[in-house]
């Protein structure tokens, strides 16, 4: 079977794309399609052509791995599209599964399109920092109108074939056999002339205000990103210039986007997320446990959020608290969260009741004896957690997974109090746990392969991105954020204002700077962590300017005041008294404030993350630099288009990062220094480790 198979059904030539698993536009596919069209053109017995995907889908887009190829080696999708558009016989795209990206562009270049009802059609290129580069920006607006085309291209969200049919994007829905229906449709229209070409149409609803509104919209939804702006420009060209002019412009703007650091960052994330699921020693044959029931200890904000993840996928939950008031309060929050979702149309009230019916509240930990996994989600106190795990030894059934949601504490120490340390693992959910995608999976020294493999499978089931990390204080994410916070406080000590430090990271693309994040999390939380760390290290009690703010009773958003003041909108406003407290602190410590530029603030903060990340890699706490990037994007809001802190550093040049760290008085990690000296990147480190 060739990559594009040719077969005849009497007067219809069928071209079947066979490039599993998703029929991506890899080398060979365009050539096979062109050869098929040439064969059809030269055969008078062929009246029409049907293009269909073999296997489970039509065409799910370009092969992203080919984006780095030189232009003359990359698959010639645009040439195939041009050949289709100029073809002298009717062509029908027969769509099942997905027609995404280049797949939809291929279908748009055909004369007609038919699809099964549940097929998905979309142009998701914006998610990779690029844009439709084979006519999508010019053809889609001509079919569905300016507004809908912009919605589809800027969100990257596919639509069902049934909706596409209502928009005129699909000419016929086929309920039965797709190929038979497509051949029948092609035969019906084989003699229809002139052939309708989308490139000959104008754009419906192409008012100037549509494009103006889109430009305003992306300042909120795609702040700082290049490709959305280029997409709007090209869609407007579709409305205001001849097709050929827009087609030619699209090619140049596609290359501009593809070669940008933003696209490299998003493509890096795409592959890093997939690599993060690979764990040395864990294979598809590693046995896993079927999780049919979960137990949660603690019905607070975190415990309730964790419970919702299980309820959302149909796994019953038993949730334990120490008092009835705490239990009632926790259940009330879960119900309100679901009811708010119902008010927004995301579920029905029947869905709310169904999920709540799967939740069993109790004050007795013994009621967890039938759970396949038990997750402890109480406050960060080692003695409390060890007491819980000691009791679980006598309660949990054999084979049950015993997990701690600790964000900083030593999972090995927690496991040591049980008679089954192989069953213990850390599952660090991020707050709010029912929203945040990241799950740090903490592999303790004695965690079994089965428990680890089950935890990874569970992460996928509850729609989390699971990343395996090792045991250290703060694991990966919080260990790095603690160093980041230290540097942020130091920058303010030296003369910057908190709002300027936050602004530097907002400009980098983070939704919250370090102090905005601290106020949201609660200043008392960070204060307690700093005290704990000082105690562990045998250091004096922390007495920084931020600790003094906490001692005034200001704890952040929850008290309407922390570093900033807050009203009901939760928008931070600088507080003059807190600024004076900082100035008094500097005077007391003999610190002469200096002007600190936004560039210095950005570099010191971003590179503090990178430097700590390099140490984490050296210690083997994280498997890959890409894993760190996934953690920071999905757990801490690092902008996806930057690719994560490690990818961002590679884009800046590791030699430059090392030089700047030294300039600001930080000691570069040995791994970072070595990679810089060798002219390498963190991607090179990951590749070397993968080959080892």
Catalytic machinery residues: 105, 125
CA nearest neighbour of 439 among 449, 452, 426, 424: 426
Q: Which residue is listed with tokens 């097929």?
A: 119
Q: How far apart are CA 100 and CA 105, in angstroms?
A: 8
Q: Exposed, middle or buried, 443 (CB in 10 Å: 0-12/13-18/19+)?
A: buried
**Whether the Cβ atoms of residue 601 and residue 484 lie closer than 8 Å to each other:** no
From residue 393, alpha-carbon distances to 23, 363, 445, 500, 635 in Å are 50, 18, 18, 50, 31
686: left (phi over 0), alpha (psi -120 to 50) or beta: alpha
3-state secondary structure of 361: strand
3-state secondary structure of 460: helix
CA nearest neighbour of 504 among 613, 576, 575, 597: 597
Q: Exposed, middle or buried, 208 (CB in 10 Å: 0-12/13-18/19+)?
A: exposed
3-state secondary structure 12-37: EEEEEECCCCCCCECCCHHHHHHHHH
Using the 8-state DSSP alphabet, how is residue 114 labeled? E
For residue 213 the two structure tokens come to: 């509104």
Q: How far apart are CA 576 and CA 564, in angstroms?
A: 9
From residue 304, alpha-carbon distances to 165, 243, 432, 478, 517 in Å are 42, 54, 9, 22, 22
């Amino acid at each position: 079977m060739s990559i594009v198979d040719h077969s005849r059904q009497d007067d219809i030539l069928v071209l079947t794309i066979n490039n599993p698993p998703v029929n991506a536009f890899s080398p060979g596919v365009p050539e096979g399609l062109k050869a098929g069209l040439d064969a059809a053109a030269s055969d008078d017995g062929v009246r029409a052509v049907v293009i269909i995907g073999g296997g489970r889908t039509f065409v799910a887009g370009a092969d992203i791995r080919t984006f780095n190829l030189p232009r003359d080696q990359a698959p010639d999708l645009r040439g195939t599209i041009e050949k289709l558009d100029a073809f002298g016989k009717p062509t029908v795209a027969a769509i099942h599964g997905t027609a995404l990206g280049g797949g939809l562009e291929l279908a748009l270049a055909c004369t007609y399109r038919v699809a099964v009802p549940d097929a998905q059609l979309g142009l998701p290129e914006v998610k990779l920092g690029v844009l439709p580069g084979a006519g999508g920006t010019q053809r889609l607006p001509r079919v569905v109108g300016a507004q809908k085309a912009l919605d589809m291209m800027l969100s990257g969200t596919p639509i069902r074939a049934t909706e596409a049919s209502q928009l005129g994007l699909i000419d016929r829905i086929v309920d039965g056999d797709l190929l038979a229906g497509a051949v029948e449709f092609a035969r019906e229209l084989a003699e229809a002339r002139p052939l309708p070409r989308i490139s000959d149409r104008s754009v419906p609803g192409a008012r100037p205000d549509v494009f103006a509104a889109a430009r305003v919209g992306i300042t909120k939804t795609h702040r700082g990103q290049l490709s959305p702006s280029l997409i709007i420009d090209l869609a407007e060209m579709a409305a205001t210039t001849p097709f050929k002019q827009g087609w030619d412009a699209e090619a140049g703007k596609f290359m501009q986007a593809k070669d940008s650091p933003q696209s490299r960052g998003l493509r890096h994330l795409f592959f890093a997320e997939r690599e993060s699921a690979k764990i040395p020693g864990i294979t598809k044959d590693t046995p896993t446990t079927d999780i049919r029931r979960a137990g949660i200890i603690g019905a607070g904000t975190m415990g309730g959020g964790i419970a919702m993840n299980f309820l959302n996928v149909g796994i019953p939950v038993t949730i334990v608290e120490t008092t009835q008031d705490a239990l009632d309060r926790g259940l009330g929050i879960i119900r309100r969260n679901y009811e708010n979702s119902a008010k927004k149309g995301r579920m029905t009230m029947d869905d709310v009741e169904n999920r709540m019916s799967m939740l069993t509240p109790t004050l007795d930990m013994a009621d967890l004896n039938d759970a396949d996994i038990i997750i402890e989600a109480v406050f960060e106190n080692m003695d409390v957690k060890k007491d819980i795990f000691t009791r679980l030894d006598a309660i949990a059934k054999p084979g049950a997974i015993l997990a701690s949601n600790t964000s900083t504490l030593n999972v090995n120490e927690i496991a040591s109090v049980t008679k089954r340390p192989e069953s213990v693992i850390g599952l660090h959910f991020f707050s709010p746990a029912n929203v945040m995608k990241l799950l740090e999976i903490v592999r303790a020294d004695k965690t079994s392969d089965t428990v680890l493999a089950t935890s990874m499978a569970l992460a996928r089931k509850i729609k989390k991105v699971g990343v395996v990390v090792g045991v250290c204080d703060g694991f990966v994410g919080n260990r790095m954020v603690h160093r980041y916070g230290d540097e942020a406080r130091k920058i303010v000590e030296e003369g910057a204002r908190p709002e300027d430090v936050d602004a530097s990271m907002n400009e980098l693309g983070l939704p919250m700077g370090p102090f905005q994040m601290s106020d949201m999390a609660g200043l008392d939380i960070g204060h307690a962590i700093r005290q704990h760390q000082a105690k562990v290290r045998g250091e004096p009690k922390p007495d920084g300017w931020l600790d003094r703010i906490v001692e005034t009773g200001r704890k952040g958003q929850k008290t309407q005041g922390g570093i900033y003041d807050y009203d009901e909108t939760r928008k931070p406003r600088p507080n003059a008294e807190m600024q004076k407290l900082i100035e008094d602190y500097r005077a007391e410590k003999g610190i002469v404030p200096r002007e600190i530029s936004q560039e210095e603030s950005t570099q010191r903060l971003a590179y503090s993350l990178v430097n700590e990340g390099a140490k984490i890699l050296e210690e083997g706490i994280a498997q890959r630099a890409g894993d760190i990037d996934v953690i920071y994007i999905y757990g801490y809001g690092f902008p996806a288009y930057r690719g994560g802190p490690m990818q961002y550093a590679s884009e800046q040049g590791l030699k430059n990062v090392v030089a700047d760290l030294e300039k600001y008085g930080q000691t570069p990690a040995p791994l970072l220094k070595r990679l810089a000296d060798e002219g390498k990147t963190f991607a090179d480190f990951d590749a070397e480790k993968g080959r080892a």
